Amino acid sequence: MWLYNCPVAYHPVNLALRFALELVGLYALGYWGWVQHTGPVRYLLALGLPLAAAFVWGTFRAIEPVAPQKIPVVVPGIYRLALEIVYFGVAIWALIAARSYIPGAFFGLAVVLHHRLSLDRISLLLKKG
């Protein structure tokens, strides 16, 4: 079966974890914007930050075995990895800055676990530039 032969980084369970982490990251940015401000700025940040992050996340991609063929802007793997580090780092910071310390800690641990399971993907991204 192909599930036993695929790299751990591209295993469907790990891909589902990565997708869930991406969604939680968007939530964290919106949550931070909501709790830090009041009035119209609250709505602007709670909706605008996740939309801007999703736009950047989906636009700048590296070529990967499971990536769709239509990539808006192809970047070297090292840049994609840097984007991921910044995105998840800011999401962790946003949860902690919003005083959600325990969810922020669990989210940070989940991000570290995912990237630990994805060392073959990280190695591939680093080799591509």
Number of helices followed by number of strands (H, E) in the chain: 6, 2
Q: Count Cβ atoms below 10 Å from residue 77 Cβ, excluding itself.
A: 19
Look over the chain and give the mean of its residue pLDDT values, rounded to a whole number: 89
Specify the DSSP class assigned to residue 6: S
pTM: 0.89
pLDDT at res. 1: 43
With a cut of 60, say whether residue 12 has pLDDT above it. Answer: yes
pLDDT digits (tens, 9 = 90+) for 71-81: 888 889 899 99
How many Å apart are CA 84 and CA 89, to the nearest integer? 8
pLDDT digits (tens, 9 = 90+) for 54-110: 999 999 988 776 665 678 888 898 999 999 999 999 999 999 999 999 999 999 999
Strand (E) or helix (H) holding 120:
helix 119-127
